[in-house]
Amino acid sequence: MEIQEIIALVKRTRAFVENREKAGHIKTKGRADYVTQVDTDIQAFLFRELRSRFPDIQFLGEEEGLHEMAADTYWILDPIDGTTNLIHDYQHSVVSLGLYEKGRITMGVIYDPFREDVYYAQSGQGSFLNGTPIHVSEAETLSETIISVGTSPYDRELAEENFRRMQRVFDKAQDIRRTGAAALDLAYVACGRTGGFFEPRLSPWDFAAGMLLVEEAGGTVTDFAGEPLSFLRKGSIAASNGKVHEELLGAL
């Protein structure tokens, strides 16, 4: 499997993202949880194209929901990470595709169609942005960097404690940022734009590709307790350049 073939396929989704009419076809799945025709069209397109090329590999996609997988190898797809952003034409939405093989993510592609940026990684081969190697930041402490945050808007019962976490991190860091797209936040950690990212509850399609990008760029990804992430259930996530990880976990 050539990653450039996968990248070329993912980049074909730009035409779907640019369709503002379909971005306005919205269904509500839950509070602040939406799906547009763009999401469903991209998922159908990538499922069809990937299945035709790799018929033995199964799929775990956001618009199907979490479920037990019958195989040890499968694609993990978020057709649009940042759907609420897309609805409002707030141009921070990406396509995120990871390949899970026997307990780990071995390939990840995150495509930002608004900037034509492709972040990608393969296990043991490093992380790249548009063909150029990327690395996490050199910050030694939170005070030397900015940290991205996620609000878990679908789970408002987490908000009070999560905003307390944000204040604790804000007090230690230079500043905090929120894009509304976890995959993009993880890509930014991988290329050193931020020193870390955290969110109290994410699904595997939100972090699968981005986790590999961060790790291959020299960073660290765990849950809030410092434990490995699960690829079949929701959970907390803390990503960093590695050097500030313990300080970040302490604040969380």
The predicted structure's pLDDT at residue 101: 94
The class that CATH gives domain 3-133 is alpha beta
Q: How many CB atoms lie within 10 A of CB 37?
A: 16
First to last CA, the chain: 39
What does the domain layout of the chain look like in residue ranges? 3-133, 142-251
Fold identical between 3-133 and 142-251?
A: no
Average pLDDT, the chain: 92
Q: How far is CA 114 from CA 6, 27, 94, 100, 227, in A?
A: 19, 23, 8, 27, 34
pTM here is: 0.94
The predicted structure's pLDDT at residue 152: 86
pLDDT lower than 70: segments of the chain: 24-26, 28-34, 63-68, 70
pLDDT number for residue 31: 56
pLDDT of residue 66: 56
Topology of domain 142-251 in CATH is D-Maltodextrin-Binding Protein; domain 2 (3.40.190)
